[in-house]
Structure 1
């Protein structure tokens, strides 16, 4: 089955900082990647993996720096991996850490990718690959991943550790000298990306094992990577700019309108149902605040006026937007009073 990769939007921040620091245009970079700038304010939202790949490539082109992925990943290290970094820092040995990363990366951080350990003859291969069919920008994404793979291993073996060599895919590698200097490795070109190291290194103990706190483990919600989940996330992102259409969503996924409708039908849902759920959720979130008038919320959701939005909301919930807002705000004092009384 064709899979659609999703990843956390937190990776947008460092890319934006690098572009701004080099005097580039964020509007131009995000526009080329086809994603809204509002993602910078919502780092925990999900985006398509292919959008992240396009953003890195657009940023490299904007500032003329093919070594940007290497600079990003080495600059943030394990901390940039979020919940995956917690798994690494709490593992007892390097081998245990790599096994944890393989198990939880596609669940918590980035779907439609593989990160894990294989044997290559007498050597161990700690690799990374994109399962989804993405060609443009694949090598840049692999270089970004190499920095994180190196950070994982160097947590156990020291910052001066060097693998036998590293591998990325492709026929050529622009900026090779700078990339090798930043990563501290020799890079070869091959059929899959990763690090080659001696298997006896896998038993290395954790020199600074971390005891996780409850706050470390808060971010454990799995990322759904089924088609319906991808469509819902794309609709959610589309609402930041204008109401998305099924044709626009299909194009983002590399499908025709008819193919998208058929695959959603096979999954037991429809585009209209997904869009309605997302819009109702966004409408309620906006109505829960007291600042935006109903007319402005209607425009935010792509409606021509408040009347059209009111009819739609009434169909979704059985009440008008104004009534829903009144009910929400009138219930808050009651809940607060119960809480203050210890109820």
Structure 2
């Protein structure tokens, strides 16, 4: 299954590139990602594209420790609802438990966090299960930055683990990375942080309230093939209407294999596209700041009239009537009847 992650998990990558004098547009172009993602922190993108973007950004500005700086600058609090829920825990062990449970529902899929305690030593591990290669180690270091920040939220800014671990046959720029993270690094099969187990009982010195106590009940970000396709369509819509070849390439499939998988699920690319456009149209119409004409162009329609006809076919009413119903607090069913 294709791993997906929220854009905010990369931290302020565009700002970092710009501050260092790099070309932000070129970095996004090399990663084949729309520049508009800068303003879409909760947009889901393929995890492998995140790894690729961070890798290209590091090369653009010549900073081998960029991934560490990004997560430390953002901090766990910058990870939206995920960070807020984790920071609402009473003790460090509870915070880590929330982080482990919620990562696949609130931040990214195809990654796994686990806490183990042996012989008085706690190891908080981070594993990427997506079969990606480019930038994998930088992604681990990005994750270590967030994990370190969480530990320091509880134990003070000078806290350092016994050691940090990343995977791979070699570690480049070790000294620079260790200075940036403020932690010693070593190589092993699984990335993570090691620290004395008694520190797990450290109370939260600045416990925050969670805005959504039921957030643990949210479903996975992408739990099936069709959900991944819909997320990829939404991603490409930030730039233009996606083609079937663009989507199949992003999934690592040939066009024929992609179509066969859709057929096995009783649908077609055109049908998934229509469903995604309908859902996206509803979300955009709920935003009163965007005109219907602009929404039509955002969805890849060359003419607002084409969008109006498509929406009428979906909902049995015009986009304007749908929006007016939302403003009056009337359900779509009530508007229809």
TM-score, length-scaled by structure 2: 0.85
Query: 1:309, CA displacement in angstroms?
Result: 4.7
Instruction: Check the 8 A contact 1:12/1:39 in 2, yes or no.
Output: no
Match of 2:111 in 1: 113
Match of 2:237 in 1: 239
Q: How does 1:1-16 map to 2 (within 5 A)?
A: 3-11=1-9, 14-16=12-14
1:141 maps onto 2:104 in alignment: no
Query: 1:299, CA displacement in angstroms?
Result: 4.7
Aligned length: 328
| Structure 2 CA distance for partners of 1:181 and 1:318, relative to 1, 3 Å | same
Look up the SS of the partner of 1:152 in the other structure: helix
Q: How does 1:238-317 map to 2 (within 5 A)?
A: 238-284=236-282, 292=291, 294=293, 299-305=297-303, 309=307, 312-317=310-315
Runs of 4+ in 1 over 6 A off after TM superposition: 215-220
1:214 to 211, 215, 226: 211
Hey, what's the Cα distance between the residues in 2 that align with 1:255 and 1:309? 30
1:200 to 169, 173, 198: 198
Hey, what's the Cα distance between the residues in 1 that align with 2:296 and 2:209? 44
Match of 2:58 in 1: 60
TM-score, length-scaled by structure 1: 0.84
Hey, what's the Cα distance between the residues in 1 that align with 2:160 and 2:283? 49
Match of 2:129 in 1: 131
Q: How does 1:18-167 map to 2 (within 5 A)?
A: 18-119=16-117, 123-167=121-165
Instruction: Check the 8 A contact 1:108/1:220 in 2, yes or no.
Output: no
Larger Rg: 1 or 2? 1
Instruction: Check the 8 A contact 2:165/2:192 in 1, yes or no.
Output: yes
Query: 1:304, CA displacement in angstroms?
Result: 4.8
Query: 1:129, CA displacement in angstroms?
Result: 1.0
Match of 1:341 in 2: none
Hey, what's the Cα distance between the residues in 2 that align with 1:146 and 1:280? 39
Query: 1:215, CA displacement in angstroms?
Result: 7.0
Hey, what's the Cα distance between the residues in 2 that align with 1:77 and 1:205? 19
